[in-house]
Homo-oligomer: A and B are copies of this chain.
Amino acid sequence: MASVAIVGAGLMGTATAWPLSDNGNDVRLVGTHLDGAIIESCKERHYHPRLRRQLPGGVRPYFVEEIGEALEGVNIIVSGVNSLGVHWIGRTLGPHLHPGQLIIAVTKGLESEKDGSLVVLPDVLASELPTAIREQIVFAAIGGPCIAGELAGRRHSYVYFGSRDAGAVERLAEAFRTPYYHVRTTTDLAGLEFSAALKNAYTLGVGLAAGLVEKAGGADEASAYMHNLEAATFAQACVEMGRVLEIVGATPAFALGLPGAGDLFVTVQGGRTMRLGRLLGAGHTFAEARQIMAGETLEAAEILRTMGRALPLLTARGALGQEELPLLRALSNIIVNDRRVDLAPFASVVEGDSRAA
């Protein structure tokens, strides 16, 4: 049994409370400064308003101001913030950490250095910790297709835990694994993180394909389905994910499995990245779509901005051919340069793509 603090009371972080609690761990849920209303509800009614569920019995909720108390004696910290909160959580946890603690993150995202080179979020979090403690903490992350509401509903869900520390990642898996939460492990932490970030970026592409077809008239009376362009975009996404993983020295097989095709599949079933893609496909620029979706965190767009900085660098270095990753280049261009998208040129991108396949 472990003592676990989940920091960040959003959907995915909080959902891990179910398997953790079912395994008999001592679980604390700490809201960020944005989660005040959630924690209030959790304290008053033991009810999480976004997950729309009662929390598991033993879970104890804490306001951000109570974080010191919440972190007392914990072995494992779940970082449940989104990509905008990674620097904050690093700075916030810093003073409370002890050697040997494990931090596992649900956050999807990617940052880049000034020179364009890519940094995965567990390393960003680590960089915010005091140097003295940084080397004594183990960092890990969760990847793979897992919708939070299903995990909280104790439905079968399959994920990878990744950490560069092979022993630690097994201990973490042990703490979380239940008959419904199927956890595999990998030491390719960066590969898992790249997959998670890329599948978000490419989900935007599949949403865009759907939006373009809808704008062109959608299903007519003779055709119940209009998914051919989406399917080709999905396939191109898988091919390109495999290539990026290869370029960055990660496990290319992730593209075929849970972290790549699997997570892409579940993410294109719906949600805000698909909605953003559909808005772009419907003819809005990113600036317009962002206004329509004001207040929502658009992680896919941030990832595409980051890739937009990294791609020219990788190309200049010769790691990547000029013609490679046409879909990722096009999606970055749409976000970074606020380009309006039309069906025919997008269809050509998907075409050009798979000649490389």
Contact = CB atoms under 8 A, between A and B. Distances in A.
Nearest to A213: B155
Given A156-B347, A216-B155, A261-B261, A227 B147 contact: yes
B232 A156 contact: yes
Given A222-B149, A255-B256, A269-B227, A184 B354 contact: yes
Contacts of A157: 228-229, 232
A51 interface: yes
Given A155-B223, A157-B229, A261-B261, 13 more contacts: A145-B231, A145-B235, A146-B228, A147-B225, A150-B225, A155-B226, A156-B213, A156-B228, A156-B229, A157-B228, A184-B357, A235-B260, A257-B357
A150 B146 CA distance: 31
Interface in A205-245: 213, 216, 220-232, 234-236, 238-239, 242
* Interface size of A as a range: 35 or more
B347 A222 contact: no
A300 B269 CA distance: 24
Given A156-B343, A156-B347, A149 B225 contact: yes
A152 interface: yes
Contacts of A265: 227, 230-231, 234-235, 265
* Interface core residue of A253, A256, A350 (most chain B CB under 10 Å): A256
B238 A257 contact: yes
A53 interface: yes
Nearest to A352: B182
B147 A357 contact: no
A275 B310 CA distance: 44
- The complex is assembled from copies of this chain, and their number is 2
14 contacts: A145-B235, A147-B228, A155-B216, A155-B228, A156-B347, A156-B350, A158-B231, A227-B269, A228-B266, A232-B258, A235-B263, A238-B238, A239-B253, A256-B261
Contact of A224 (B234, B270, B357): B270
A16 to B, nearest CB: 14
A317 interface: no
A179 interface: yes
Interface of A: 51-53, 144-147, 149-153, 155-158, 179-180, 182, 184, 213, 216, 220-232, 234-236, 238-239, 242, 253, 255-258, 260-263, 265-266, 269-270, 343-344, 347, 350-351, 354-355, 357
A228 B354 contact: no
5 A-B pairs closest in CB distance: A235-B262, A149-B223, A145-B231, A158-B232, A231-B266
Nearest to A179: B344
A145 B354 CA distance: 13
B158 A270 contact: no
A89 to B, nearest CB: 26
A351 B256 contact: no
* Interface core residue of A155, A225, A269 (most chain B CB under 10 Å): A155
A158 B223 contact: no
Given A239-B256, A357-B253, A222 B262 contact: no
A205 to B, nearest CB: 13
